[in-house]
Structure 1
Amino acid sequence: MPTRVLLVDDHAVLAESLSLLLGSQSDLEVVGTARTLADARRLVETSRPDVVLLDVALPDGDGIAEIPALLERHPGARVVVLTGTTSDRVLVGAVEAGAAGFLSKSGGVRRVVDTVRAAAADEAVLPEATLERLRPLMRQRADERHVRLTEREVEVLQLVAEGLTNAAIAERLVVSLHTVRNHVARISRKLGAHSKLEALSIALRQGLVTP
């Protein structure tokens, strides 16, 4: 089955360009385009997308602030924030809201397709250098929740913190990719996270892994 993508952006030209680009891929399907957060809430429920490409600034509100509401309506979605800024405040806020990653509006065409595919596979979608910059910032906020993880789950999370993909983690631990994905899914459930990035953010705040 193709990966189902919902576009949320009020810039008609950009939204149409992204729709044409993603729709031309045999493994991707654009299931809707929303111009407002109200439309996004409705379409998330009716179209059940695998990936949501979400602009930061919409006519009726802040896209990042809306992420928890979208995930509440469809917890299985992976939200990728469309942004023209690399502001620490914006990026950390998006991660802690449950975003799976970021897509720069100034990036190339190939980057869009690769990002959607990576998000659908529950990879952390952001450059390693950006992750390195954000790790200490995500530790600055206290978190009183305490979750017990197994030794292997902590080991997997530590490798996520180092910026490794699921495939690279599998190679490092000499296990199958399927095993790593199962570990990541269990970690996310235990931490109440909607994405690998959010799980990492929670784990850093709890001191389960080191930055």
Structure 2
Amino acid sequence: MRGVHRAGAGLAAVLAAVALASGCGIRTTSVPVDAGAAPSRVPCKLPSADVTTRSPESVAAPVYLVCASQLVTVDRPVPSGAAGGADPLVAARALLDQVQQAPPETERRAGFSTAVPAGLRVENPRTDDPAGTLRLSSQPEDLSAEALAQLVCTYAENEALVTDGSVVLGGPGTYPPRGYLCTSQTKSRPQDVTTPDVLKRD
């Protein structure tokens, strides 16, 4: 009889444990579950003590880089002659040089990168181009969506490169230049091929 009582007590304990587990919302399974790696958090923010070293002849200019699938500005040194109101070609070349550079270690650790190709160049407009046109060595539409968004938004921060609210870009071919807008959607979804918004120039 004692063996029977012990077996009954053991069964009751097992049933109680199962009931307790069910009550806590725990579901048993014999299949291993892989929930994947924990989501990483990219700060997209540089340490406050991190200040880009620049010479007395340079000034800080905002440049748009890619971080966490968005466009975020960082300050980069450019010659003082490339600041707002400067010669458009001088400003365009200085900003292009900064936006196409591989981010330094501090920016990489914060999640920043650039999609602008290193070989891209900017040239003078043609005689029949609309005012404010900048000619790139590649057709703007041939750049990746992120690269074009980076360039347009970086140029849009410089008043010398904005004409009637847009950045006017052309390429080496015969296609007419077009005006590109940097909007909030451009910054939040630079990978979207529908941005930057495009304005036809007469």
TM-score (norm 2): 0.28
TM-score (norm 1): 0.27
